[in-house]
Each structure stands twice: as structure tokens, then as C-alpha cells.
Chains A and B, each alone.
Chain A
Amino acid sequence: DAGVTQSPTHLIKTRGQQVTLRCSPKSGHDTVSWYQQALGQGPQFIFQYYEEEERQRGNFPDRFSGHQFPNYSSELNVNALLLGDSALYLCASSLDAGSSYEQYFGPGTRLTVT
């Protein structure tokens, strides 16, 4: 039973560039959430996708956008990268029908903006 997978593992980009991160949810899960974790902090909620639509969004600018595909996998896109976007980007999957709101995280993508 495959858990949550993310790609790439590491990424180095330059200010102003655009980046796409990918996530495959745990088998049987239909909801994907994205989080940003800066060094020494807890993860911060970016947004959540369900039924191929953005359902909830945190306090992140429109430079952060996403997509969910029919197979429930998801992408996170960040445009016009800033130095402050350097962080560990985590994808978490869950089952919308679940009553305990448990989310399972992938290993993350470490993004460095120079």
C-alpha cells in the first residue's frame, strides 16, 4: 500500500522563476492538502483540493496555485518566486468521508530560492 509520494525531492530555483511540485496521495484517499514549512516552524496550510477543485485556502498570495487530476494526484505551482518561498513543501492526503480528519504526509519537497 503506497503512501503519499512527492516529487522532486529537492529543487533549486532563482528569484522570479516558476516551480511545479507534484504529489500522489495515499491509495484510497481523495483529498490533497498542501503545506509550507519554513525552517524551525510548524507547517502552514496553503490550500486543499477535493473533486478537482480548490476547497479551502490559507493566507497565501495568488502566486500559489494548484490543480488536482481525476486520479486525485495534485500539483502545486508557485510563480514569481521570492527568497522567502524557500521552505519544505508538504503534501498531505486524506479521505473526505473520514470522521477523524486524519491526514498523512509525504516526505516533502525542499525548495531553495536563490
Chain B
Amino acid sequence: TQLLEQSPQFLSIQEGENLTVYCNSSSVFSSLQWYRQEPGEGPVLLVTVVTGGEVKKLKRLTFQFGDARKDSSLHITAAQPGDTGLYLCAASTGEYGNKLVFGAGTILRVKS
């Protein structure tokens, strides 16, 4: 059973459309991170959210941490082909808090 469930698994949209990716769990986390990964590369950290209800914006990307710190969402406004990639959410767990548990990821394809 996945500790973190991401949905959808795959998303193919036209340039200019909006989209939301979800990351859900039944567990409470001290922090949650979003990464973007391109084929053959390592994940690149986009944002870390630590406070329940927190909203962070990174240009056209908006990240939200649920009030109960069990879920998170990533919203992209006016998607561009350069947004194409694998989006991963990861939660901090473990005795020292810096063991990451990842969701399976959402593959986003933005067509021009």
C-alpha cells in the first residue's frame, strides 16, 4: 500500500490549460515536498510546505498543504510545454524526519 497516493497518474493537456495534481495520505506529516523530474535526471525540488493550510506560489505553480497535514495539491495555471515532466510528492518520515517517502508520481504532458 502506497503511503502517498498521487492522482491522476497521467495527464495530457493543451498549452494554456490549467491543471491540479493531488497527493493524499491517511498519515500526518511534518512536511511535504514537491519535485519535478525529467527523463534520465534526478528530481528537482520545487517547494517544501510545513504548516497546515499553507499556500505557496512559484510563478504559475500554486502549492497547498492540507489543514490536517495529510494531503497536498499542486495547481498549474496556463500550462506550457516546458512544464512537461514527472511530478512527485514526498513526505518527511523516519526518526530524524529526513527520510523521504515518495508517491508514484504524475506524468504531465503539455502539448503545444
Contact of B48 among A41, A102, A108, A110 (CB under 8 A): A102
1/0 per residue, CB under 8 A from B, across A81-95: the answer is: 000000010101010
Q: How many residues of B contact A (CB 8 A)?
A: 27
Question: Contacts A90-B42, A101-B48, A105-B42 hold; do A42 and B88 have CB atoms under 8 A apart?
Answer: yes
Stretch from B13-21, B57-65, B99-107 that touches the partner: B99-107
CA distance A106 to B40 in the complex (A): 11
List residues of A (30-50) whose CB comes within 8 Å of B's CBs: 31, 33, 35, 40-45, 48, 50
1/0 per residue, CB under 8 A from A, across B80-109: the answer is: 000000001010101111111111110000
Contacts of B96 in A (CB 8 A): 48, 50, 55-56, 96
Contact A107 B42, beta carbon cutoff 8 Å: yes
CA distance A92 to B43 in the complex (A): 9
Task: Give the nearest-CB partner of A55 in chain B.
Answer: B96
List residues of A (100-114) whose CB comes within 8 Å of B's CBs: 100-108, 110
In the assembled complex, how far is the CB of residue A39 from the closest CB belonging to chain B, in whole angstroms? Answer: 10
Q: Does A21 contact B (CB under 8 A)?
A: no
Task: Give the nearest-CB partner of A107 in chain B.
Answer: B42
Question: Contacts A42-B88, A100-B31, A101-B30 hold; do A110 and B40 have CB atoms under 8 A apart?
Answer: yes
In the assembled complex, how far is the CB of residue B44 from the closest CB belonging to chain A, in whole angstroms? Answer: 7
Task: Give the nearest-CB partner of B43 in chain A.
Answer: A105
Question: Contacts A106-B42, A107-B41, A108-B42 hold; do A100 and B99 have CB atoms under 8 A apart?
Answer: no
Contact A101 B42, beta carbon cutoff 8 Å: no
Could you list 28 examples of A-B contacts with CB < 8 Å?
A: A4-B42, A33-B98, A33-B100, A35-B102, A42-B103, A42-B104, A42-B105, A43-B88, A45-B99, A48-B98, A56-B99, A90-B42, A90-B43, A92-B42, A92-B100, A96-B96, A98-B98, A101-B30, A102-B33, A102-B45, A102-B48, A103-B45, A103-B98, A105-B42, A105-B43, A107-B40, A108-B42, A110-B40
Residues of B within 8 A of A (CB): 30-31, 33, 35, 40-45, 48, 50, 88, 90, 92, 94-105
